[in-house]
Each structure stands twice: as structure tokens, then as C-alpha cells.
A and B are shown apart, each in its own frame.
Chain A
């Protein structure tokens, strides 16, 4: 049984664990409703481009470039007359509005056929056909997603992406936690300077360092493999070390000291005290890396351009988009499909950001 974990508690002032006072129902209910309502409205605006993407991804081809089409996926009526398809419009004729198929367009008068009575032949209608409306009916084309799945080597790309993201995530979490622990909890000569240097590594824009970096990996013989994407993650990065260090600084030292008194070495303290305490920040770092690796385009492109079999989704999807630049539906469906796994990962791990379960600085 872990001595360290047990010993940590008593050193803190034994504050009585207070439950939060119950909210008075009426007032709290009102506030709750108001706040939730405001958040919903803001989110609606915030997420509307995604809704637009979803609409586009479900679009039918006949909607493409149709200036009178609604924003949501829809089809309009068509009628087969003499072996050709004609669009059906709502035509005000004989005192009523009838759905008629437009066969011959003209500026001032056009010829229609009545789908209900096609044998009667063409009906000439005076007026401009452009002022007529077509009736669009809601009709999502879910098959777009199936098409994307079939046309792109999805399983292989997905496997590559998951492998690159997860290996990199492990590397990032382990290395950054260790390095952040070193910076946050130990004093050594040059600590400040080294920390500044660490942060300063992100001050130089990548446009400047890209070619020398590529040259290193080329000389190492790593171009054309996953190694340039994976190996550096095991050597920590400024963003995540900085985040974890800041978080570790908020954890009171009493706990480390208590563990040390119990004879725990620095590694053990890291494992049994620091990591459990810093779990939300570590999870955040893991999520950041997964999302980063998931959407990273330039890195895999540069190092894997000669190896299509090793490329992740972001690169594969770019090829797909150049094929289907004309069909926005496929492009949006492809993009939305790639988002699903990071979102699921977030759904699973978001409970680590749950509010209000911290009772003291010590307990999880």
C-alpha cells in the first residue's frame, strides 16, 4: 500500500468538508435557465458554420450552383417528358397554382407540360419563368458519406493517423511531464536561463527553421518514415512543458515534502503525488497533441510525400479534395468524418475537467 499517498493527507489543515449549500430552487432555477439560454444562443452562432458544413455535406448534386436552392439539403421536382428531365415550377395559371414542368424557356413566355396530364402537350404561359419558384423538399443525401468512405483508403489512412497521434501523445505526455517536473520542483544552476531558452525555441517562426530541420532528418535518413513526426515528441516541447510547469506551480509543496519525509525519491513523488494532482493538465496536453497530430498537414506532407502508404488522413484528404473540388458535399463529408475520432476522445476525457469535485488542494 502506498505510503506516500496516505501520508500526504494529514499534513494539510483538516478543513471540514463542506457541501455546497443547496441553491434556493426558484432563484437558482431562474438563473440556471437564463445562463443556459444565453450559452445556447451564443453556441448557435458559434457553431453555425459547422451546421452549414453538415448541410453542404448532405447536398444533392442538383443543388450545386442552383441560385434558388435553400441552404439545407433539398431536391426539387423533375418530370420526365419525351425522355428528358425537366424542372417542375409552381405556375399560376387559370386562377390556380399548378406544378408544371418547364420544357422550353423564353424571356416573356415559356412552354410547360403538366405532369398530371402530359398527353395534353405543351402549355404556353405568358410571363417570366425566373419569377416562378421551384418547390424544394428537404432531402439529405447520406450516401455522400458512404461514397467518401469508399473512394478514399479510409481504414489505412485512419490507422496511420491513429498510430502517429497516439505514439506522439505518449511521447509528449511522458517527456513533457518529466521536464516540467524538473523545472517546477528542483533548483539548479541556470534554471531560469534554460527555461527562457526553452520558451524561446518557439519564437523563431517555422518558415525559418523548416529547411534546416528537413536537412537534419534527411541526413539521418528519416525522410520517408514516421520518425521525424514521432521521435521529437519524446524530447518535450515548449508549449506543453510550460503549461504543465505552470500547473505544477499551483500544487502546494507540502505534499512533495510529506512524500519526501516518507522516503519517496523524486521519481516516486512524481508518480504518486504530482501526476495524480496534475491529471487535468496532463489530459489537456494529451488532447492537444492528438488534435495537433490529427490535423497536422505540413509535417506529414513534407516527410512522407514519397510514401503515400504512410500518410495520415490530413494528407490523404487533400488528394481527395483535389479530385472532388467540384463536389463540395464530398469535401465537407470527408472533413466531418475525420473529426469524429478526436471528438469521441474528448467526450471520453472531458470528465477530467469536471467542476467542483476538488474538495481540497490534495484530493482528486
Chain B
């Protein structure tokens, strides 16, 4: 089977960009570059102002919390405690256990959270699908449901005795269907499944991306006799790589901060058997339930550092696989 290879580097604008970049150093700090920089800073100015006004102080304040002993009841007066909170965090096995839980779930859930919306978007973009508008809306539907209602709906669906899932399983002959939400081996699939309910956002992002792929690339692929798989691999995925990259980064941030579903389902107890004691759940409980603000902030900054490290690694690899026609 003949196939064409549209590698990012072969696309006209990428070639041009490369050529352009080669010529770049000679431009130096020309007036043109200064002008461009001025415009760039003008355009990002709203974010910078907002960052200074609303984001910087909370971040810095949480850093200060980290080296003090602020709690709601404040049985001891507020004082500088240095690295006490960090030492406590590093010495507490809950920190490491919950990080392990988080990473285990991330390894399981991240591929699902990225691939499934992409596949659904492909299907919704397929010319073989009838009534596309209807299906698009139906896939979007659960995304609109308020979060807690959605989780509670699934809790009802997955109830071992009265849930529809097990009712269906009994109907097809399964005698003792599982206790989905209380079985340690089934809990991650169940949580991943509940997570797929918010698939609407990911599908939209992917649909918007697919819509931006120039159709002449598909036409060219077809003329070359490329099959479905070759077209997907050599046209769609490279052209979608900026969107996939976006999904990946946000997927990582989301999964590292994952805690709301188990908070609603198990009241934050980490049931079954500690398998849902996620890092951010521990953090949330420290900051909100136990009112240990300083310790919560300390955990928060550990999560910040971990997230930053992981995303920077992904950013580094992105040069190899993310194609951007308009970048230079």
C-alpha cells in the first residue's frame, strides 16, 4: 500500500519557517524586532495585569504560609517555622502513599482521557456517520450536568444492588455482578468511566482542531492511495499534534489535581482500602477539613513542583512531535 508521509518538516510553512529562522540572527535587535516585542507585550498585557492583581498575591501568600504555622484554631501564636512543614510532609508516609495512588491512577486514566475524546471526535467527523449534529449534541450533553449531580448519578448507576449497570449484567446472566465502587481492582476503571462523562469538552477541542486541517492534505493522501490508517497516522495526527499537546498538558494537570470524584463518593476517606486517597484529596482535607492552612500550602507547593517538572519534560519532548505551521 502506497502511503504518503506528511511530516511536519515537509509542510511548506515549516520549511519556510526554518529558512526564515536561519536568517534570523543577522536581524539582531533591529527596530523591527523591538517593534514586534512591543506589540507582543501589548497583547499579553491583560494577562500580566491580571496576574499581578489577582494571582501573584495568593501564590506568594501560600509560600509564606508554608514557612509559618497558620491553622484555623491557632492554638500556638503565628510564627516562622522554617522548614518544619516540609520536614513533616517528607516524613509522613501519607504523602508518598497518596503520590503513588495519584501516579498509578494517572498512568491508567491519562491515556483514556486523551485518546477517547480524540477518537470520538474522529467518529463525529466521519463522513459515514449520519445525523452528526444530533450525535455531537448528545456526546456534549453530560458535560453540562453539574459535577456533583453527575457523580451522584453514577453512584446510583453503579450501586451493587440497585444500579442499572448490575441490573443489565444480571439480565445477561452474570450471577454476582461486582461492587464497582467498593472493589479495589475495579475502582480505577469505574472512576475513569465516570470521568468520561465530561468528555464533551475534550471532544469539542478535538473537533475544532480537526476542522482546521486543510482538506487538500486529505485529497492529496487519497490521490496517493493512502488508506484510512495511513491518512490518520501521516496527516491527521501530525496536524492535530498541537491540540493533542494541549490535551496532554491539561490532562496531566487535571489528573495530578484529581480528587473531587472520590471526595463526593467516599467523603474523602480514601475507600476502598486507601485506593482513592489521592494527593490532592489529602491536601484538600488538610486545608479545608482540618484547617491546617500552612500544611495544606506546603502540600500544594509540592504538587506545584511535581506538575512543573512533569510538564517541562513534556514541553521538552514536544519539539520532536508537535507541529506548528504558524510558529517560528
Choose among B50, B293, B308, B311 the residue that contacts A211 (Cβ–Cβ < 8 A): B293
Residues in B whose Cβ lies below 8 Å from that of A18: 216, 219
Q: Which of A194-213 contact B (CB under 8 A)?
A: 194, 196-205, 207-213
Query: Is the beta-carbon distance between A212 and B57 smaller than 8 angstroms?
Result: yes
**B13, A188: Cβ atoms under 8 Å?**
no
Complex contact A249–B207 (CB within 8 A):
no
Q: How far is the CA of A248 from the CA of B212 in the complex (A)?
A: 10
Whether a CB of chain B sits under 8 angstroms from the CB of A10 is: no
Contact, CB under 8 Å: A189 / B37: yes
**Shortest Cβ distance from A165 into chain B, in angstroms?**
12
Chain B's closest residue to A179 (CB) is: B47
How far is B156's CA from A48's CA once the two chains are assembled, in angstroms? 11
Which of chain B's residues have a CB closer than 8 A to the CB of A354? 132, 211
Say yes or no: A252 contacts B246, CB within 8 Å: no
1/0 contact string of B213-247 vs chain A (CB within 8 Å)? 11110010010000000000000000100110110
Say yes or no: is A5 at the interface (Cβ < 8 Å to chain B).
no
A200-B308, A346-B137, A354-B211 in contact; A182/B44 too (CB < 8 A)? yes
Q: Is the CB of A43 within 8 A of B50?
A: no
Expressed in whole angstroms, the Cα–Cα distance for A18 and B242 within the complex equals 27
Q: Interface size (B, Cβ < 8 Å)?
A: 111
Known contacts: A36-B129, A246-B245, A280-B208. The answer to whether A359 contacts B46 by CB under 8 A is no
Are A351 and B133 in contact (CB-based, < 8 A)? yes
CA–CA, A186 and B133, complex, Å: 37
Query: Is A297 at the interface (CB under 8 A from chain B)?
Result: yes
Contact string, B278-321, partner A, CB cutoff 8 A, digits 1/0?
00100110011000010011011101100110011001000000
In the complex, which residues 248-284 of chain B have their Cβ closer than 8 Å to any Cβ of chain A? 249-250, 253, 257, 280, 283-284
Report Cα–Cα, A342/B137, bound state, in Å. 11
B145 and A353 within 8 A (CB): no
Q: Does B93 contact A (CB under 8 A)?
A: no
B135 CB contacts on chain A under 8 angstroms: 39, 43
Contact B43 A179 (CB under 8 A): yes
Contacts of A256 in B (CB 8 A): 326
Give the segment of A80-88, A119-127, A136-144, A284-292 that binds chain B: A284-292
- Closest residue of chain B to A343 (Cβ to Cβ) is B144
Evaluate contact between B215 and A358: CB separation under 8 angstroms. yes
Contact between chains at A208 and B62 (CB < 8 Å): yes
- A-facing residues in B126-170 (Cβ within 8 Å): 126-133, 135-150, 153-154, 156-157, 164
Contact in complex: B58, A182 (CB < 8 Å): no
B108 contacts A by Cβ under 8 Å: no
Q: Is A360 an interface residue (CB 8 A)?
A: yes
Residues of A contacting B123 in the complex (Cβ-Cβ under 8 angstroms):
35, 39
Query: B53-79 vs A: 1/0 string, CB under 8 Å?
Result: 111011101100100000000000000
Flag if B128 contacts A287 (CB, 8 Å): no
Query: Do A355 and B210 touch across chains, with their CB atoms under 8 A apart?
Result: yes
Residues of A237-282 whose CB lies within 8 A of B: 239, 241-243, 246-254, 256, 266, 277, 280-281
**CB of A236 within 8 A of chain B?**
yes
> B296 touching A207 by the CB < 8 A rule?
yes
Q: Spell out B's residues near A (CB within 8 Å).
A: 12-13, 16-17, 33, 36-51, 53-55, 57-59, 61-62, 65, 123-133, 135-150, 153-154, 156-157, 164, 196-197, 201, 204-205, 207-216, 219, 222, 239, 242-243, 245-246, 249-250, 253, 257, 280, 283-284, 287-288, 293, 296-297, 299-301, 303-304, 307-308, 311-312, 315, 324-328
Nearest 5 A/B pairs, CB to CB: A235-B50, A182-B43, A186-B40, A208-B300, A188-B37
